[in-house]
């Protein structure tokens, strides 16, 4: 449906086009306001739709997340990460043969430049894994640039498949370096998640892959795959809008995801729980979180869009129980503190009136810790999963055509004034 909205400024009526999406809020096209000498002002883009997209839809009030129309709950129960990658990139669930060909194409791209290993070996002990991963992916932009034509859809799909193939390998190279462990070789015939689990944890080339733990990783990748125009995805689109090298766009997305307000929150949750230390100390931390003068926030809580339970958090929590059961971990103290914290917070007026719920990061750290992943590596796992969304969003943007992203500003600096010679200054 296309309708109009009328804005009256200084008595002048300005008619703006209103259009309806297939799901969600109507949008008012304000692009023509610059011709009226006006800008809109929306720091943090709280009310701004930056693009059209067909990939993912979130209904924050309903706690609903759809990928190409399929609910995250159904995908988590019935699908897997590779199939979701295909769905995000191609728009439809694949036939058996299409999925097999897609997986074969990804497996064909699993040969990384040996120089990536050399680059990783230069990082001193204690280097943060997200910085290392971003460096390796940025290095891919140096390796893969000759003859790259992003306007060729086949080349764009090749970039997507190469990134899906090589980012988990880069992540495993980083992990082995971070843990000061020898690498193992890729093992032919393993599924995507089994291969990643093998590259990360196997002590030798023929070590067994635990199917329940590998499935947990696949779930985590699937649940983190895409999420509309979040900060890191918007970063990928903005960098991509300059016609930049797509590997460089993804490296920029990795840098944005690292922030503790975004993908770094999973690491932040474990740090927060370690600082709380005991359930008896939870009330004092709830009090800190409510104090506007205290920068402390309950990590893993709240969301720009979800004003209800993050549907991914419920899926992650179920996976969490599977992993802890498989590992024979009973009454995990970290999980107990997390559950009590969530319960107390959800009964507190401050969190209720602000509609603050646990988000995807709140429980994911418990699983990753149980898998033996160090907490400064948690966001790398998030980045591996989100690669699907980043590259699918980039592919969609380039396919649809785009203008370079160039926001304006509300200038509040000094008005024009004349230069004063240094010997004239007071
Ligand atoms: C991810 O966008 C995405 O889709 C992101 C993501 C994805 O998949 O890409 O879902 C992944 O980034 C999840 C979010 C992970 N971050 C955290 O868990 C960090 C803790 N959360 C907060 O920093 C915060 O909730 C944000 C950053 C997530 C959202 O911030 P907003 O939307 O800008 O909300 P806000 O800061 O305007 O908060 C509104 C009110 C404020 O209080 P008042 O000024 O009204 O008094 O709620 C308060 C905030 O102080 N608040 C919190 C809180 N989050 C918001 N108070 C205590 N603890 C919190 N966690």
Distance 124 CA to ligand 1 centre (A): 33
Does the beta carbon of 297 sit less than 6 angstroms from any atom of ligand 1? yes
> Is the Cβ–Cβ distance between 233 and 397 less than 8 Å?
no
Task: Tell me what pLDDT residue 243 has.
Answer: 97
Does the beta carbon of 304 sit less than 6 angstroms from any atom of ligand 1? yes
Distance CA 199, CA 107 (A): 14
Q: Whose CA is nearest to atom 32 of ligand 1?
A: 304
Active site (annotated) includes residue 303: yes
Per-residue pLDDT tens digits for 85-120: 999 999 999 999 999 999 999 999 999 999 999 999
Task: Tell me what pLDDT residue 332 has.
Answer: 85
For the cut 70, the answer to whether the pLDDT of residue 2 exceeds it is no
Distance 243 CA to ligand 1 centre (A): 31
Task: Report the predicted TM-score, pTM, of the whole model to 2 decimal places.
Answer: 0.95
Per-residue pLDDT tens digits for 49-98: 999 999 999 999 999 999 999 999 999 999 999 999 999 999 999 999 99
Q: Whose CA is nearest to atom 27 of ligand 1?
A: 261
**How much is the average pLDDT of 328-348?**
91
Does the beta carbon of 62 sit less than 6 angstroms from any atom of ligand 1? no
**How much is the average pLDDT of 214-234?**
97
Active site (annotated) includes residue 210: no
Tokens of 297: 């926030």
For the cut 70, the answer to whether the pLDDT of residue 417 exceeds it is yes
Task: Tell me what pLDDT residue 1 has.
Answer: 59
Specify the range with the lowest mean pLDDT, choosing from 122-131, 150-159, 329-338, 379-388. Answer: 329-338
**How much is the average pLDDT of 127-140?**
98
What whole-number percentage of the chain has pLDDT above 90?
A: 95
**How much is the average pLDDT of 251-256?**
98
Does the beta carbon of 177 sit less than 6 angstroms from any atom of ligand 1? no
**How much is the average pLDDT of 174-200?**
96
Ligand 1 pocket, mutate which of 57, 302, 341 (most atoms under 8 A from CB): 302
Per-residue pLDDT tens digits for 227-252: 999 999 999 999 999 999 999 999 99
Does the beta carbon of 359 sit less than 6 angstroms from any atom of ligand 1? yes
- Residues 67, 178, 198, 303: which is the catalytic one? 303
Q: Rounded mean pLDDT of the chain?
A: 96
Active site (annotated) includes residue 185: no
Closest CA to 386 of 423, 361, 350: 361
- Residues 262, 322, 332, 348: which is the catalytic one? 262
């Amino acid at each position: 449906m296309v309708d109009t909205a009328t804005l009256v400024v200084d008595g002048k009526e300005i008619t703006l086009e209103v259009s309806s999406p297939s799901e969600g809020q109507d949008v008012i096209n304000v692009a023509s306001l610059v011709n009226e000498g006006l800008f809109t002002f929306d720091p943090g883009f709280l009310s701004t739709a930056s693009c059209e997209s067909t990939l993912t839809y979130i209904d924050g009030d309903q706690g609903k997340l759809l990928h190409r129309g399929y609910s995250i709950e159904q995908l988590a129960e019935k699908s897997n990460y590779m199939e979701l990658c295909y769905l995000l990139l191609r728009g439809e669930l694949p036939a058996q043969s299409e999925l097999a060909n897609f997986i074969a194409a990804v497996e064909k791209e699993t040969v990384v430049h040996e120089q990536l290993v050399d680059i990783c070996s230069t990082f001193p002990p204690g280097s943060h894994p997200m910085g290392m991963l971003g460096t390796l992916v940025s290095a891919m932009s140096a390796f893969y640039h000759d003859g790259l034509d992003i306007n060729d859809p086949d080349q764009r799909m090749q970039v997507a498949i190469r990134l899906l193939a090589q980012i988990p390998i880069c992540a495993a190279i980083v992990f082995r370096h971070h843990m000061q462990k020898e690498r193992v070789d890729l093992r032919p015939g393993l599924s995507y998640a089994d291969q990643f689990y093998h590259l990360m944890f196997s002590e030798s080339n023929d070590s067994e892959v635990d199917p329940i733990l590998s499935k947990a990783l696949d779930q985590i990748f699937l649940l983190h795959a895409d999420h509309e125009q979040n900060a890191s995805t918007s970063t990928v689109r903005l960098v991509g809008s300059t016609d930049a090298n797509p590997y460089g766009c993804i490296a920029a997305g990795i840098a944005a995801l690292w922030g503790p307000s975004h993908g770094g929150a999973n690491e932040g949750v474990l740090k927060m729980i370690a600082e709380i230390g005991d359930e008896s100390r939870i009330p004092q931390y709830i009090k800190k979180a409510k104090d506007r003068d205290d920068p402390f926030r309950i990590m893993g809580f709240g969301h720009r869009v979800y004003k209800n339970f993050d549907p991914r958090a419920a899926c992650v929590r179920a996976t969490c129980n599977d992993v802890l059961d498989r590992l024979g971990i009973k009454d995990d103290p970290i999980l107990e503190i997390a559950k009590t914290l969530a319960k107390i917070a959800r009964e507190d007026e401050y969190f209720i009136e602000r509609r603050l719920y646990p988000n995807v990061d709140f429980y994911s750290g418990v699983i990753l810790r149980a898998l033996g992943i160090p907490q400064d590596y948690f966001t790398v796992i998030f980045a591996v999963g989100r690669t699907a969304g980043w590259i699918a969003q980039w592919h969609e943007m380039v396919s649809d055509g785009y203008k370079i992203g160039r926001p304006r500003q509300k200038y509040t600096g000094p008005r024009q004034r004349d230069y004063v010679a240094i010997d004239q200054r007071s």
